[in-house]
Amino acid sequence: MRLGDFKYMFAISGARRLRGADLGLRIFAVVLAIGLWIFVNTAERNSFAPLTVPISYSSLPAGMVIVNHPPTVVKIEVTGPRNLLSLLDPERLTLKIDLRGVAAGQSEFKFYPAMFNVQRNTAVTSISPDQLSLDVDRVVTRDVPVHLAVQGKVEPGYTITSVDITPPTVTIAGPSRFVTPLTSVSTEPFDLKGLTSDTSRSVDIAAPNPALGFSTGHVDARVNVGEAITDREFRAVDVEVKDSGFKYRVEPRQATLTIRGPAVKLAGLAPKGLAYVDAKGVAPGSHELPLQVTLPDGMQLVRQSPDKVRLRTYHEKLTTTADEHPS
């Protein structure tokens, strides 16, 4: 074989080996590209996004009210390509609950993925909570009297004589379960500490339940304060003899009196001079006379003991003081 032929055959063989190697590299590149494409697309499709979606309630029938506190948002999880998930707007996915035709009582609502208008090629895979319960009641109104709540005490010796409230009643509106049982409504406490005279103040209504509405939030209250009227018993009250021209002796010498009047004045009332016998014009001798009681204005005698006393007068003229008469 000639040298030229040998070179030609060697060149042909080398070219064939190069073409085989190039083909293998091309196949490897194609396989690698396909793998990357599958990996990227699989990753895109398996992306997920957590979203907090608002809940709106509409078309609640007139005269009805939701009593409980239903959720205002729902949490969902959406899967799909990342580029599509980035376009999701929670506000545009608002879950709308139509309450048209709902009746008083408990109503249950179930949430499904189809209720959320998400992008094509995406899907809602999780909903929390996936249902809710509404407690619905009828709205009613009612007029009830206002009761004045008080705290503290008036000054000793005084008492509350009356209470005036303006307006005396208020209108309450709210769920029937809260309004129907009410027979009255109270105010915030009116402080009586140290009062000795009539006092007026504006006081707020104390709402028994935040679900209730009132025709007014406050009332004008007037507390009328007067001296407390009480009874006081006076024991061992000396019986005096008035206008006697003769020496005398009286039996019994002391009396028991029960007097009614303002407590403050009674506390300062001295017993001396309260009980007496009128001896004016009484001749010497033994006499049974009524026991008389003199009281300040605003006081009255409840009872006394005794009702009568025995007065013995002597012929001897009274020249000494009353404290020196015979015993």
Q: What tens digit of pLDDT does each residue of 216-257 get?
A: 999 999 999 999 999 999 999 999 999 998 999 999 999 999
- Give residue 317's pLDDT band: very low, low, confident or very high (50, 70, 90): confident
In the CATH scheme, what is the homologous superfamily, with its name and number, of domain 140-227?
YbbR-like domain (2.170.120.40)
Angle at 323 between CA 322 and CA 327, to 5 degrees: 100
Fold of 229-324: RNA Polymerase Alpha Subunit; Chain A, domain 2 (2.170.120)
Distance CA 140, CA 189 (A): 27
- Residue closest to 71 by CA, chosen among 115, 28, 129: 129
**In 10 A of CB 146, how many CB atoms?**
22
Give the model's pLDDT for residue 17. 54
Task: List, for residues 90-102, the tens digit of each pLDDT value.
Answer: 999 999 999 998 9
Chain centroid, CA 235 distance in Å: 52
Q: Give the chain's radius of gyration (CA, Å).
A: 52
Question: Does residue 119 have a pLDDT over 90?
Answer: no
How do the domains of the chain map onto residue ranges? Answer: 1-45, 47-129, 140-227, 229-324
Q: Does residue 314 surpass a pLDDT of 90?
A: yes
Class of domain 47-129: mainly beta
CA 14, 15, 18: angle at the middle one, nearest 5? 90
**47-129 matches 140-227 in fold:** yes
Q: How confident is the model at residue 27 (pLDDT cuts 50, 70, 90)?
A: low
Q: Is the pTM of this model over 0.85?
A: no
